[in-house]
Structure 1
Amino acid sequence: MAASAPTRWDRKMQQRLARGEEAALGELYDRFASLVHSLAHRVMDDEETAAQITREVFGYIWENPDAYDPKQGSLRSWVAGLTQKQAVHRLRLSENHGEGTPEEVENRLREANTAARADYIVTSMPEPLRQALDLAYRRRMDYREAAVDLGVTDDEARRRLRLGLQLLSTAMQDPAPEGRAL
């Protein structure tokens, strides 16, 4: 899947971070902390470790704002990728220290990779598909209700949902996990 063009907000945020604006880090944290924490918690299944990974990810972003390349995709996808890499690294370290069986660790790694890919796919898909999926998933609307809310025909709403779900289903494909730390 091709990387989506970053938003103007993404580019401006990176510039502000590169200038060392503390307020920019606060805005970034407000926007993405729940994403980072939930991804880390999904991998580690531990509140304290998820909070620590959240701090590490935002610390890395503050110290390395130029590591984000807008040509590679959205800031959200980059932050999610950083989180996944750091959490997987932590999980592999815990495996080496006897925290969980190898099968449990591999299952958590597989789930984390799937979650990160799903997040990337959703943030990369066109807005009309993302809106349709959001209505169906978060607001529990069927395609007819979504069509009314989106101002499109029933057939168009069904098409958007079908295509969005087809794209999202590719997250279940299992590429080899990456275990690099930040």
Structure 2
Amino acid sequence: MDGPDKTDDRVLHQRVVGGDEAALGELHDRLYPLVLALALRVTRDRSVAEDIVQEVFVTFWQRPLSFDPDRGTLRSWLATIAHRRAVDHVRTEERHRTARAPLLPEPAAGPPEEGVLAADEAARVRRAVSRLPGEVRQAIELAYYGGRTYRQAAEELGLPEGTVKSRIRLGLRKIADELSEEEV
């Protein structure tokens, strides 16, 4: 049975299919806060989130028939598109950040063997991190390799900030113990 939102969605959808810009405006006014909140939660950047919202509504305006009112509501459909685009944006940014990050430390100004020793030490640290328990490793990777603050890592993991700090401290202690055994 169709509820009021479903009926409104069908009417607005048909109006948009017919080229009614006012219908798109009504839909935008009604769903903008939801779509923005979803994009903002994923990207953590208001400017990027606003761009994603604009893309979502422009896409709907350009291809309104891609929405099927028999399969769900416009609210859930637009929210899904916004979430996917936001995740795509974050993944793309992460790939670009990873591609720009040097694989080896910058060459030292000293003798070449210092650079080799630094690369060897970095490899040992990476191995020690890879041997940490999953939840500890994840916190370390977000904070140190992902460049997240404790608060950002906690939000991303859905955990209290204190828990993430404890996991990072525990991980750093285990890494230090392992490296000291290897005399690094």
Matched residue type, 2:8: W
The 5-angstrom pairing of residues 96-135 of structure 1 reads: 96-98=95-97, 101=145
Query: Measured at CA, do residues 65 and 109 of structure 1 come closer, stay the same or move farther in structure 2, by a change above 3 Å?
Result: farther
In terms of mean alpha carbon deviation, does 32-41 or 90-99 score higher? Answer: 90-99
Aligned-residue offset at 1:108: 7.5
Structure 1-normalised TM-score?
0.53
Could you say if the C-alpha distance between residues 50 and 86 of structure 1 is closer, same or farther in structure 2, counting changes exceeding 3 Å? same
In structure 2, stretches of 5+ residues that fail to align are 99-141, 159-184
1:72 positional shift: 1.3
Question: Deviation at 1:26?
Answer: 0.4
Task: Determine if contact 1:88/1:109 at 8 Å carries over to the other structure.
Answer: no
Following superposition, the deviation at residue 110 of structure 1 comes to 7.5
Residue of structure 2 in register with 1:66 after alignment: 65
Report the equivalent of 1:139. Answer: none
Q: Match of 1:93, as an amino acid?
A: T
Structure 1: unaligned runs, 5 residues or longer: 112-182
For 1:73, give the aligned amino acid: G
Runs of 4+ in structure 1 displaced over 3 angstroms? 99-111
Structure-2 residue corresponding to 1:127: none
Q: Per chain length, whose mean CA-contact separation is higher, i.e. which structure has more relative contact order (CA < 8 Å, sep 6+)?
A: 1
| Residues 43, 108 of structure 1: 8 Å contact kept | no
Aligned counterparts of 1:18 and 1:108: Cα–Cα separation in 2: 39
Structure 1 residues 60 and 41: alpha-carbon distance in aligned structure 2, compared to 1, 3 A threshold: same
- The SS at the match of 1:98 is helix
Once residues 33 and 86 of structure 1 are traced to their aligned partners in structure 2, the CA distance between those partners, rounded to angstroms, is 15
1:1-182 matched pairs, under 5 angstroms: 7-98=6-97, 101=145
Whose radius of gyration is greater, 1 or 2?
Answer: 2
| Aligned twin of 1:152 | none
Structure 1 SS opposite 2:97: coil
Q: State the SS of the aligned residue for 1:70.
A: coil
Question: TM-score, normalized by length of structure 2?
Answer: 0.52
Task: Report the Cα distance in structure 2 between the residues aligned to 1:82 and 1:59, rounded to whole angstroms.
Answer: 12
Q: Is the CA contact (8 Å cut-off) linking 1:44 and 1:108 kept in structure 2?
A: no
- Give the secondary structure class of the aligned counterpart of 1:26: helix
The residue that corresponds to 1:157 in the other structure is none
Percent identity of paired positions between Structure 1 and Structure 2: 38
Displacement of 1:74: 1.0
